[in-house]
């Protein structure tokens, strides 16, 4: 979540730092598109959104709000929507072999 919100404070080694910069630039591009779409909203909602999302460099407010609304969906995508008792790696339904490519049958 910190990466999406632009608040990842771990800089790591120089190679990781360079990769994080590339990732952050890509996220800025993505949120620039979202920002453009949000700013085209009309009426009183549009005015409220324009007031809230003034930052057009890093889109921190927009990123925070997006993360708050979507973190559960991101988690489901990461875990393949596995339930609480499921393990990431487990035996397959048919053969009893360990599933390595997908986290559920």
Give the phi and the psi of residue 51 in degrees, each rounded to 5: -70, -40
How far from 98 is each of 76, 91, 102, CA to CA, in Å?
21, 4, 10
Q: Across the strands, what pairs with 98?
A: 91
| Tokens at 99, concatenated | 């599933």
**Cβ-contact 35, 53 below 8 angstroms:** yes
List the one residue out of 46, 26, 27, 29 whose CA is nearest residue 38: 46
pLDDT (tens digit, 0 to 9) for every residue of the chain, 105 residues total?
676 776 766 667 788 888 888 888 999 999 999 999 999 988 888 889 989 998 888 898 999 999 999 998 988 887 777 666 555 565 666 666 666 655 554
């Amino acid at each position: 979540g910190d990466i999406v919100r632009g608040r990842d404070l771990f800089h790591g080694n120089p190679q990781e730092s360079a990769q994080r910069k590339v990732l952050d630039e890509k996220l800025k591009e993505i949120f620039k598109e979202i920002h453009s779409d949000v700013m085209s909203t009309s009426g009183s909602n549009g005015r409220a959104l324009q007031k809230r999302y003034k930052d057009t460099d890093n889109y921190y407010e927009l990123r925070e709000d997006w993360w708050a609304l979507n973190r559960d969906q991101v988690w489901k995508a990461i875990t393949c929507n596995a339930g609480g008792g499921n393990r990431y790696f487990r035996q397959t339904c048919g053969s009893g072999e360990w599933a390595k490519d997908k986290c559920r049958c």
